[in-house]
Amino acid sequence: MTEFEGKTVLSLHVNGNFHEVLVRPSDILLDVLREQLGLTGAKAGCKNGDCGACTVMVDGWPAKSCLMLAVEAQGKKITTVEGLGGKAAVQNAFVEANAFQCGYCTSGFLMVCHALLTQHPVMPDEIVVEEWLQSNLCRCTSYQEIREAVHLMYDAVQDADV
Amino acid sequence: MIPFDFVYCRPDTLREAADAFKRYQGKNKKAVCYGGGSEIITMCRAGSIHPDAVVDIKGIPECGILEKDDCFLTIGAACTLSRITESKLFPLLGLACGRVADHTNQCRITLGGNLCGTVIYRETSLPLLLSDAEVTVGGPDGMRRVPFQNIFDGRVRLREGEWIVQAHIPVWALQARHAHIKKTAQEKIDYPLVNVTAIWKEDVLRAAFSGICSRPFRSRRVEAVLNDRGLPPEIRAEKAAGLLPEPPYHDVEGSGEYRAFVFKNTLCELLEAWQNDRV
Amino acid sequence: MVMAIGKSIQRKDAWEKVTGLARYTDDFPVTGLLCARLLTSPYGHARILKIDTARALAVKGVKSILTGGDFQELHGPLLLDRPALARNVVRYAGEPVALVVAQEESIAAKAVRLIEVEYEPLPVLLTPSASLSPGAVLIHEKVTGYKRLLTDIYPEEGTNIASRYRIQKGSAGQALKKCDYIVQKQFSLPASDHLAMEVRTARAQISADGKVQITTSSQSPYAVRRQISDAFMIPAGQIQVTVPFIGGGFGGKSAVMLEILAYLASKSVGGKAVRLIVTREQDMAALPSRIGLEADITLGADRDGNIQAAQMTFRLDCGAYADISPYMAKAIAVDCTGPYHMEHVLCDSLCVYTNHTYATAYRSFSHESCTFCVERAIDLLAKRCGQDPLEFRFRNAIREGSTTPTQVPYTESLIGDLRKCLGRARRLSQWDAGAGTPIKENTVKAKGIACFWKTENPPTDAVSGAAVTFNTDGSVNLVTGVVEMGSNGQTHLAQILAEKLGIPCEKVHVVLSVDTRAAPEHWKTVASLTEYMAGKAVLRAADDLLQQLRSNGSQAFGCPVSDIEVSHGRVYSIRNPERFIEFKDIAQGYQAPDGTSIGEPVLGRGGMMLKGLSMLDPKTGKGKTGPAWTLGAQVVEVEADIRSFSYRILSALTVIDVGRVINPESMRSMVAGGMAMGMSMASREFVSFSSRGVPQAPNLRTYKLMHLGQEPDYRVDFVETPQDDSPYGMRSYAEHGIIAIPAALANALANAFGIEEVTLPLTPENIWKASQKEKP
Strands (E), chain B: 7-10, 31-34, 53-56, 66-68, 72-76, 134-139, 142-147, 163-170, 178-183, 194-201, 204-210, 217-218
Residues of C in contact with B4 (CB under 8 A): 106, 110
* Cβ-based neighbour number of residue C57 at 10 Å: 15
| Contacts for C488 with CB less than 8 Å, ≥ 6 apart | A101, C11, C663, C666, C670
pLDDT the model gives residue B160: 87
**Is B54 a member of any domain?**
yes
> Cα–Cα distances in Å, from B150 out to B72, B135, B145?
18, 10, 10
Picking from B119, B146, B171, the residue at the C-terminal end of a domain is B171
Tens digit of each residue's pLDDT (9 = 90 or more) over C97-120 = 999 999 999 999 999 999 999 999
Task: For C761, name the nearest residue in chain B, comparing CA atoms only.
Answer: B186
> Do residue C197 and residue A139 have CB atoms under 8 angstroms apart?
yes
Number of neighbours of residue A86 by Cβ within 10 angstroms:
13
Please tell me the predicted confidence (pLDDT) of residue B83: 98
Of C456, C453, C491, C503, nearest to C656 by C-alpha is C453
Kindly indicate the confidence band of residue B189, based on its pLDDT and cuts at 50, 70 and 90.
very high
At A36, give phi and psi (nearest 5°). Answer: -100, -35
| Partner-chain residue, chosen from C197, C279, C676, that has the shortest CB–CB distance to A104 | C197
Say yes or no: domain C33-122+200-277 is CATH 3.40.1280.10: no
Interface test with A, best of B104, B182, B191 (most A CBs within 10 A): B104
A53 falls within a domain: no
Closest CB to C248: pick one of A41, A47, A140: A140
pLDDT of amino acid C320: 98
Beta-carbon separation of A134 and B98 below 8 A: no
pLDDT of residue C293: 98
What domain count does chain B have? 3
Distance between C746 CA and the closest CA of chain B, angstroms: 15
Residues of chain C contacting A46 with CB distance shorter than 8 Å: 199, 280, 699-700
In a domain, B123, yes or no: yes
What's the pTM?
0.98
Q: Do B3 and C113 touch (CB under 8 A)?
A: yes
Residue C1 has what pLDDT?
65
* Residue A11 in domain: no
Which residues of chain A does B102 touch, with a Cβ-Cβ cutoff of 8 Å? 52, 134-135
Tell me which chain B residues have a C-beta less than 8 angstroms from the C-beta of A135: 102-105, 189
Q: Cα angle at C171 between C165 and C176, to 5 degrees?
A: 110
The pLDDT of A51-60, averaged and rounded, is 98
- The stretch A95-100 carries a mean pLDDT of 98
Same domain, B120 and B214: no
Q: How far is A50 from chain B (nearest CA, A)?
A: 9
Q: Does residue B164 sit in the same domain as residue B182?
A: no
Q: Are residues B188 and B263 in the same domain?
A: yes
Domain containing A96: what range? 84-161
Look up the CATH number of the domain holding residue B14. Answer: 3.30.43.10
- B111 with B164, same domain? yes
Element housing A109 (H / E): helix A106-119
Residues C197, A105: C-beta atoms closer than 8 Å: yes
Q: What was the pLDDT predicted at C456?
A: 97
C contacts of B187 (beta carbons < 8 Å): 684, 704-707, 710
Interface chains of chain B (3 or more CB pairs under 8 Å): A, C
CA C177 to chain centroid, in Å, comes to 38
Q: Is C677 on the interface with A (CB under 8 A)?
A: yes
How many domains is chain A partitioned into structurally?
1
CATH number of the domain encompassing residue A98 = 1.10.150.120
- Identify whether the C-beta of residue B182 lies closer than 8 Å to the C-beta of residue B99: yes
User: Between chains, do A142 and C701 touch, taking CB under 8 Å as contact?
Assistant: no
Nearest CA in chain A to C33: A35
Tell me what pLDDT residue B197 has: 98
Among the candidates B171, B197, B231, a domain finishes at: B171
Q: Which domain holds residue B229?
A: 178-275
Residue C714 to residue C669: CA distance in whole angstroms: 10
Cβ of C20 within 8 Å of Cβ of A50? The answer is no
Answer whether C702 touches B (CB < 8 Å).
yes
Comma-separated ranges of CATH 3.30.365.10 domains in chain C: 292-458+614-774, 462-609
**Neighboring chain B residues of A1 at a CB cutoff of 8 Å:** 9-13, 16, 20
Provide the 8-state DSSP code for B249.
P
In this structure, what CATH number is given to the domain that contains residue B142? 3.30.465.10
Q: Is residue A65 part of a domain?
A: no
Residue C128's alpha-carbon distances to B47, C77, C297, C350, C689, in angstroms, are: 35, 22, 16, 9, 14
Length of chain B in residues, anyone? 279
- Residue B194: helix, strand or coil by DSSP? strand
Q: Verify whether the Cβ–Cβ distance B186 to C704 is below 8 Å.
A: yes
Question: Which CATH architecture describes the domain C462-609?
Answer: 2-Layer Sandwich (3.30)
- Interface residue A72 vs chain B (CB under 8 A): yes
CA distance B81 to B86: 9
As averages over each run of 10 residues, the pLDDT of chain C (776 residues) reads 91 98 96 97 98 98 98 97 98 98 97 98 98 98 97 97 98 98 98 98 98 98 98 98 98 98 98 98 98 98 98 98 98 98 98 98 98 98 98 98 98 98 98 80 95 97 98 98 97 98 97 97 97 98 98 96 95 95 97 95 98 97 98 98 97 98 98 98 97 96 97 98 98 98 98 95 98 86
Q: Is C71 exposed, middle or buried (0-12, 13-18, 19+ CB in 10 A)?
A: middle
Interface of A with C in 87-106 (CB under 8 A): 91, 94-95, 98, 100-106
Q: Give the model's confidence band at B138: pLDDT under 50 very low, under 70 low, under 90 confident, else very high.
A: very high
In a domain, A49, yes or no: no
- C681 vs B contacts (CB less than 8 Å): none
Query: In this prediction, what percent of chain A has a pLDDT beyond 90?
Result: 97
Query: Which residues of chain C have a CB within 8 Å of the CB of A84?
Result: 19
- Residue C687 exposed, middle or buried by CB count within 10 Å (0-12, 13-18, 19+): buried
Claim to verify: residue B132 and residue B233 sit in the same structural domain: no
- Over residues C729-754, the pLDDT tens digits come to 999 999 999 999 999 999 999 999 99
A155 touches chain C (CB under 8 A): no
Q: How far is A9 from chain C (nearest CA, A)?
A: 18
Please check whether residues B166 and B251 belong to one and the same domain: no
Selecting from B7, B12, B58 the residue whose C-beta is nearest the C-beta of A25 gives B7
- A19 is a domain residue: no
At residue C595, the pLDDT reads 94
| Chain A touched by C411 (CB under 8 Å) | no
Quick one: B54 and B68 in the same domain? no
What part of A 44-83 touches C (C-beta under 8 Å)?
44-48, 50-51, 53, 80-82
pLDDT confidence of residue C437: 79
Contact B1 C704 (CB under 8 A): no
Choosing from B114, B136, B171, the residue where a domain stops is B171
Identify the band that residue A107 occupies on the pLDDT scale cut at 50, 70 and 90: very high
Residue C435 is predicted with a pLDDT of: 64
Instruction: Flag if B42 and A3 touch (Cβ within 8 Å).
Output: no
**Beta carbons of C684 and B3 less than 8 Å apart:** no
Residue A143 lies in a domain: yes
* Cβ contacts of C683 within 8 Å, gap of 6 or more: B186, C649, C706, C745, C761, C762, C763
Which chains would you list as touching A if contact means 3+ CB atom pairs under 8 Å? B, C
Touching partners of C (3+ C-beta pairs < 8 Å): A, B
Helix axes C389-396, C367-384, angle to 10 degrees: 110
CATH of the domain at B230: 3.30.390.50
For B152-177, what is the mean pLDDT? 96
pLDDT for position C440:
86
Q: Does residue C486 belong to the interface with chain A, where contact is any CB pair within 8 Å? A: yes
Pick the CATH number of C292-458+614-774 from 3.40.50.300, 3.30.365.10, 3.90.1280.10, 3.60.15.10: 3.30.365.10
Side chain identity at residue C421, one-letter code: C
